[in-house]
Copies of this chain bind each other. A is one copy, B any other.
Amino acid sequence: MDTNNLPANVLDPDCPSRVIFQRIGDKWASLVVQVLADGPIRFSELRKMVHVVTPKVLTQTLRTLERDGFITRTVHAQVPPRVDYELTELGASLLEPLTLLRLWAEDHVPSILKARDAYDDAQDEAVIGG
Write the residues of chain A forming the contact surface with B, with a CB cutoff of 8 angstroms. 8-13, 16-17, 20-22, 24-27, 30-31, 34-35, 49-52, 66-69, 90, 93-94, 96-98, 100-109, 111-116, 118-120
- Give A73 to B12 CA distance when docked, in angstroms: 25
Cβ of A112 and Cβ of B34 under 8 Å apart?
A: no
Contact A69 B116 (CB under 8 A): yes
Task: Pick from B11, B67, B108, B114: contact of A20, CB below 8 A.
Answer: B108
CB-nearest residue of chain B to A114: B69
* Overall SS of chain A's interface: helix
**Closest CB in chain B relative to A41 CB, distance in Å:** 13
- Point out the residues of chain B lying under 8 angstroms from A50, CB to CB: 11
- A105→B16 CA distance, assembly (Å): 9
Whether B21 lies near A102 (C-beta < 8 A) is yes
Q: Are A31 and B11 in contact (CB under 8 A)?
A: yes
Do B34 and A10 have beta carbons less than 8 Å apart? yes
